[in-house]
Structure 1
Amino acid sequence: MNDRNTGATAKTGASQARVTATYDIESAKGVTHAAAVLAGEQSTGTFLRLAGETDALRDRSAARIEAVEVTGRSDHPALPVREAGASYERGRVTISWPLGTFGTSLPVLMATIAGNLFELAELSAARLVDLTLPADFARAHPGPKFGAAGTRAAMGGHNGPLIGTIIKPSVGLSPAETAELVRSMAAAGIDFIKDDELQADGPDCPLADRVAQVMAVLNDHAERSGKRVLYAFNISGEIDEMRRNLDLLERHGAACAMVCLNAVGLPGLRVVRDHTAMPIHGHRAGWGLFSRSPQVGIDFPVMQKLWRLAGADHLHVNGLASKFTEADLSVARSARAVQAPACDGEAPAMTAMPVFSSGQTVWQLGPSRQVLGNDDFIFCAGGGLIGHPDRAGAGVTAMRQAAEAARDGITLEEKAKTAPELARAMAHFPKPEIDARVFAG
């Protein structure tokens, strides 16, 4: 591999806008060498120097190494490797690319910052942990149409976090059974309901029938009560299919569409955003494939920037003390990232609504608010709401009481003295242990 052309360049001082990515890597050949290989593979280089790869071309188009930091060493590789080494150096490297090589295309950006590098033989670990985008991306992409303020407006106005739930069982209910469950949840005072990611347009519960029957219930509820419950229908599918599904939703007066982000991809998400005038609920189903191992993958704060640029209004971030493996510190970082600027410079923040879900109860609502410092989030609970000992209505009321306690800065125990539904929920659902470090900011 001595002929390997790195394609990396030293800093040239060029003023052209650049994209910068930071990786946590490991290599038997050393972090500095591995950084050069990574930069070459992901820009002008290949396994040997080509005649057409002139110094001028490399100076104009090659990725460059901005920083290298060695953080440790191990006597064994973090991931399987083809050739073993005596030891493996660990570190963080920052690479940048000139915008001229891929413009502001999100799919090509993704292929550049998260492409073949994960397969490089020189790397025994590779994880994309940070991404800085110039303001050009915000100017080129529309971002969320709604975000928190627009979502509240689509509901006819709403204060506090959105108390939500998920259709359970995830699959197996008919359109009529789904509509009946929705009727009971709407009557209970729920703000938001979503399809499960497993339920889209299967023959046992066709989307067209589900939309017609659910929206008949919700439109009637809105007319009688004055409250519009937001229902996120899962329209994930092929491009033309999703366009037809959006048209279907609009004909029935639906106000929210859900897509499985990893299934439809960035171009699919952008098509949905451009085709509809309703909030897009982004579900990250399959995210563990990219995030669970600390040795390979992508950090959520990186990927959520691209999803927001493509148009997602709501983004799932898991939940504190959830049923999944993700640590609380990671969940808190992800939730804050969704409300932070997506690009450098004076680009708009393009904030979206974090969605806390997965094993959530009244115990996690206040801490979720504390992590963000605001009410601009959706708090989804399935069993933690529907499973209230006094049924769903009491479950919604208990969640609302927990939100009031968080807003007023009092403990759940204090609030429960005058809130029997909350008291029952606290007695029924075990209090989880939440990592106190999430509140440090």
Structure 2
Amino acid sequence: MERITATYYIETPFEVAKAAAVLAGEQSSGTFVAVPNETEELKQRFAARVESIEHLETVTEPAIPGANSKDGKYHRAIVKVSWSIENFGFNLPVMISTLQGNLYEITQFTGLKLMDIDLPESYGNHYSGAKFGIEGCRKLTNVYDRPLIGTIIKPSIGMSPEQTAEIVKTLAEAGIDFVKDDELMGSAANSSFENRLNAVMKVVNDCADKTGKKIMYAFNITGEVDEMQDRYEKIVNAGGTCAMISINSVGLSATKKICDNGALAIHAHRNGWGMMTRHPLLGIDFKAYQKIWRLAGVDQLHVNGIQNKFWETDDSVVNSIESLKTPFYQHKNILPVVSSGQWGGQAFETYRRTQTTDLLYMAGGGIMAHPMGAASGVTALQQAWKATVDGLTLEEARSQYVEFDKAAEKFGK
């Protein structure tokens, strides 16, 4: 039978091979004590296997709480463990329960992180992946040969539908490609989902009629599954092209259920990501994380940004973008969403390090707080990306473009 292999970065005060065996047993046919029905035949078919162990360094302080070391040493290693797909079939939630589940609670580990997942060919056939992906999102926005330029409605919450729609009008007239609700905005006391949808889509559709360009607005449909489905259908009926989901909040099954509809591009917001990965020896690495959500069918996924306002390093952001550029079965590649404290100045380093324009490049305050107004904020971001692709330096771009120069004056400090 086909097998799924998971790669873990572990730390343990015990012999690494014994700790790895505990991992394999706990997450398949075994438990803390031998039981009568765990026969050799059963283990042969359903038990997880430790495929390889690569010993790394030994340290004297544990990364996280766990069993105490008798000799004061904690051993780190890369461990690969495999499972037959007979254990869970094509059931993503049970697969995740198997690959992660109770592992983080096992006392033998003072550190454990899921780094990667190798999935069999049958998964690529069973799951169709993104319905739109990069090319579909480009077609919906009619943007080619450069990043999609986007922003987030700010203030995140508190504005009326009419105020939101007025901002969208300004942005649309300035030529923006993408606008989204903030993840904090679902259906607030002064801005119900339906009222905001109607106000915003009137502006979007009116601007499309006048200019021929229809911006993509990602309405936040995060909620209970039935509520999400209802909101999804309302967006479709209003002529919208995108829905946003806080994927860590609603979970894998709910996200896949919405993705399976296939009529809207799905903007996957990963808020809550930090609690899953910020510690270097706890949680899940983006390389593994993105595969799960690509199977679920999202079209756009956040990757943070260069010189961002959060904790994540530039190397980590670049690695995340590279992982989304990596082909995944025959599925469509999905659009990396660059965000978090961005303005046009980071475009130069982003392009230098990734050599791609297949991005949704998002700036909230970097557009909305531009000293010449939000419309100039859009222009400045467009200028920055044109300049970097044309081979200009940041200073050369400042001398050539007024709006970008003003942005650099404010945000470059």
TM-score of the superposed pair, with normalisation by structure 2: 0.97
Pairing partner for 1:282 from 268, 278, 291: 268
After superposition, residues 41-440 of structure 1 pair within 5 angstroms as 41-86=26-71, 87-342=73-328, 347-430=329-412
Q: Which amino acid aligns with 1:111?
A: S
CA deviations 1:364-406 (Å, max 9, x no partner) are 1232233332211100001111221111111111111111112
How far 1:213 moved relative to its partner? 0.2
Farther off after superposition, 65-74 or 150-159? 150-159
CA contact (8 A) 1:26 1:125 kept: yes
Farther off after superposition, 232-241 or 266-275? 266-275
CA contact (8 A) 1:19 1:97 kept: yes
Farther off after superposition, 152-161 or 29-38? 152-161
How far 1:84 moved relative to its partner? 4.5
C-alpha separation in 2, matches of 1:213 and 1:115? 43
Q: Which amino acid aligns with 2:332?
A: M
How far 1:157 moved relative to its partner? 4.7
C-alpha separation in 1, matches of 2:221 and 2:262? 12
C-alpha separation in 2, matches of 1:172 and 1:360? 23
CA contact (8 A) 1:336 1:371 kept: no
How far 1:427 moved relative to its partner? 2.1
Q: Indicate the SS of the match to 2:80.
A: strand
For the pair 1:26 / 2:18, whether they are aligned, the reply is no
Q: Indicate the SS of the match to 1:354.
A: strand
Q: Indicate the SS of the match to 2:200.
A: helix
CA deviations 1:287-340 (Å, max 9, x no partner) are 111011112110011111111111110000011110000111111111111121
C-alpha separation in 1, matches of 2:201 and 2:209? 12
CA contact (8 A) 1:256 1:280 kept: yes
Q: Which amino acid aligns with 2:161?
A: P
C-alpha separation in 1, matches of 2:24 and 2:332? 30
CA RMSD of aligned residues (A): 1.3
C-alpha separation in 1, matches of 2:192 and 2:185? 9
Q: Which amino acid aligns with 1:293?
A: H
CA contact (8 A) 2:67 2:108 kept: no
C-alpha separation in 1, matches of 2:262 and 2:189? 25
Q: Which amino acid aligns with 2:397?
A: K
CA contact (8 A) 1:356 1:377 kept: yes
How far 1:282 moved relative to its partner? 0.3
How far 1:158 moved relative to its partner? 4.0
CA contact (8 A) 2:132 2:332 kept: no
Q: Indicate the SS of the match to 1:370.
A: helix
CA contact (8 A) 1:323 1:358 kept: yes
Q: Indicate the SS of the match to 1:45.
A: coil
Farther off after superposition, 278-287 or 73-82? 73-82
C-alpha separation in 1, matches of 2:118 and 2:253? 21
CA contact (8 A) 1:30 1:88 kept: no
Q: For residue 439 of structure 1, what is the aligned residue in structure 2?
A: none
Q: Indicate the SS of the match to 1:66.
A: strand
Q: Which amino acid aligns with 2:37?
A: G
Q: Indicate the SS of the match to 1:290.
A: helix
Q: Which amino acid aligns with 1:331?
A: V
C-alpha separation in 2, matches of 1:320 and 1:85? 43
State the aligned residue count.
Answer: 412
Farther off after superposition, 311-320 or 367-376? 367-376
TM-score of the superposed pair, with normalisation by structure 1: 0.91
For the pair 1:40 / 2:22, whether they are aligned, the reply is no
CA deviations 1:166-199 (Å, max 9, x no partner) are 0001111111111111111112211100100010
How far 1:28 moved relative to its partner? 1.1
Q: Which amino acid aligns with 2:406?
A: R
Q: Where does structure 2 lack aligned partners over 5 or more consecutive residues?
A: none
Amino-acid identity (%):
44
C-alpha separation in 2, matches of 1:30 and 1:361? 49
